[in-house]
């Protein structure tokens, strides 16, 4: 296929059946498990969809004019995607990241011309948000896409991700997404409430104080403006260790090398499968590629050391 620019390749990601991960009792009930493999996008995360939608929205509104510069807080996934799509349109970009974001993601955005500003690692994602908003307030050259409050974030999942799932799997019963900005879960829920209300949207949420890279607990003091938790079937708490172990299991049983946030959605999908009705079809969002976490030990590192390496790196989606 031929395209004019990289933004045109986003979306249309596959559903891959990964029933081998289900417990025998679930398989015996005819339950099936599918990964929506978003990590096949240009930057290896579902944030490819979000970043393009955010930039398109700013351009449409006339806010991103010559002389302006994009500014966004990120732990890497949104930043990487913004870096790709900003570079493709020759738009300058500054990213505010917690100081302990993995080197793979730092190198990625630097290679695309982005400037990195560090925020305190011990303040996690909230610290990055506060610093970026202070910078934007103090300098009019900056324009913040602000995925936490911009309705273009959930909208892109409502009009692309969700319809893709229903088209590829009309008999879908459950979808599990990570809880970060709330964009993915909210967009999915809006669509299915309207088009197929029987589908339940579950959210994977870190336990308060737990550091699951890419996700956040609402109990830690910040609820994104775009999030509509009332549309969800529920939020299931998951810890970082279970997320890492699930990501490893996915890689070794299916060949899908995904990050800890995908591990979290998978862990929740497996919990939901325990009580699911016979013949249920469960989809989880494989939202982030695992290669970004090699330096933190995702592949075979000590679990305690990996948890420490990712401490504070929770900003996402």
pLDDT band of 257, cuts 50, 70, 90: very high
Q: Which of 105-109, 116-120, 171-175: highest mean pLDDT?
A: 171-175
pLDDT band of 20, cuts 50, 70, 90: very high
Check whether 297 has a pLDDT greater than 60: no
Is there a catalytic annotation at residue 149?
A: no
pLDDT higher at 123 or 160: 160
pLDDT band of 273, cuts 50, 70, 90: very high
pLDDT band of 313, cuts 50, 70, 90: very low
| Structural domains present in the chain | 6-45+151-300 (3.40.50.1100), 47-143 (3.40.50.1100)
Q: Write down the catalytic residue from 254, 261, 280, 292.
A: 261
Check whether 170 has a pLDDT greater than 50: yes
pLDDT of residue 300: 62
What is the average per-residue pLDDT within 118-142?
Answer: 90
Is there a catalytic annotation at residue 47?
A: yes
pLDDT band of 292, cuts 50, 70, 90: confident
User: Rounded mean pLDDT of the chain?
Assistant: 89
Q: pTM of this prediction?
A: 0.88
Check whether 210 has a pLDDT greater than 80: no
The per-residue pLDDT for range 211-256, each reduced to its tens digit, is: 444 444 455 456 789 999 999 999 999 988 899 899 999 999 999 9
Q: Write down the catalytic residue from 47, 52, 200, 292.
A: 47
Q: Which residues pair with 95 in a beta bridge?
A: 72, 116
Sorted by sequence, the CB contacts under 8 Å of residue 301 that are 6+ apart come out as 309
The three state secondary structure string of the chain is CCCCCHHHHCCCCCEEECHHHCCHHHHHCCCEEEEEEHHHCCCCECHHHHHHHHHHHHHHCCCCCCCCEEEEECCCHHHHHHHHHHHHCCCCEEEEEECCCCHHHHHHHHHCCCEEEEECHHHHHHHHHHHHHHHHHHCCCEECCCCCCCCHHHHHHHHHHHHHHHHHCCCCCEEEEECCCCHHHHHHHHHHHHHCCCCEEEEEEECCCCCCCCCCCHHHCCCCCCCCHHHCCEEEEECHHHHHHHHHHHHHHHCCCECHHHHHHHHHHHHHHHHCCCCCEEEEEECEEHHHHHHHCCCCCCHHHHHHHCCCCCCCC
pLDDT band of 314, cuts 50, 70, 90: very low
């Amino acid at each position: 296929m031929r395209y004019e620019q990289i933004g045109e390749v986003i979306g249309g990601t596959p559903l891959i059946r990964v029933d081998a991960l289900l417990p025998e009792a679930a398989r015996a009930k005819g339950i099936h498990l599918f990964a929506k493999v978003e990590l096949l996008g240009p930057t290896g995360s579902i944030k490819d969809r979000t970043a393009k939608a955010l930039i398109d929205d700013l351009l449409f509104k006339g806010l991103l004019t010559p002389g302006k510069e994009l500014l966004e807080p990120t732990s890497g996934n949104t930043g990487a995607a913004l870096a790709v799509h900003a570079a493709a349109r020759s738009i300058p970009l500054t990213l505010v990241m917690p100081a302990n974001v993995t080197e793979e993601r730092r190198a990625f955005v630097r290679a695309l011309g982005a400037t990195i500003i560090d925020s305190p690692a011990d303040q996690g994602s909230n610290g990055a948000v506060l610093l970026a908003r202070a910078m934007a307030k103090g300098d009019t050259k900056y324009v913040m896409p602000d995925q936490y409050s911009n309705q273009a974030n959930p909208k892109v999942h409502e009009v692309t991700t969700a319809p893709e799932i229903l088209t590829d799997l009309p008999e879908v019963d459950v979808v599990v997404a990570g809880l970060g900005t709330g964009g993915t879960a909210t967009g999915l829920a809006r669509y299915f409430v309207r088009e197929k209300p029987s589908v339940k949207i579950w959210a994977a949420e870190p336990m308060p104080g737990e550091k699951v890279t890419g996700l956040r607990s609402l109990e830690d003091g910040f609820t994104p403006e775009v999030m509509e938790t009332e549309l969800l079937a529920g939020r299931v708490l998951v810890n970082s260790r279970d997320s890492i172990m699930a990501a490893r299991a996915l890689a070794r049983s299916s060949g899908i090398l995904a990050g800890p946030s995908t591990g979290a959605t998978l862990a929740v999908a497996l919990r939901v499968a325990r009580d699911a009705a016979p013949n249920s079809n469960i989809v989880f969002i494989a939202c982030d590629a695992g290669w970004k976490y090699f330096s933190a030990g995702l592949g075979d590192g000590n679990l305690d050391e990996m948890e420490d390496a990712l401490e504070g790196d929770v900003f996402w989606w």
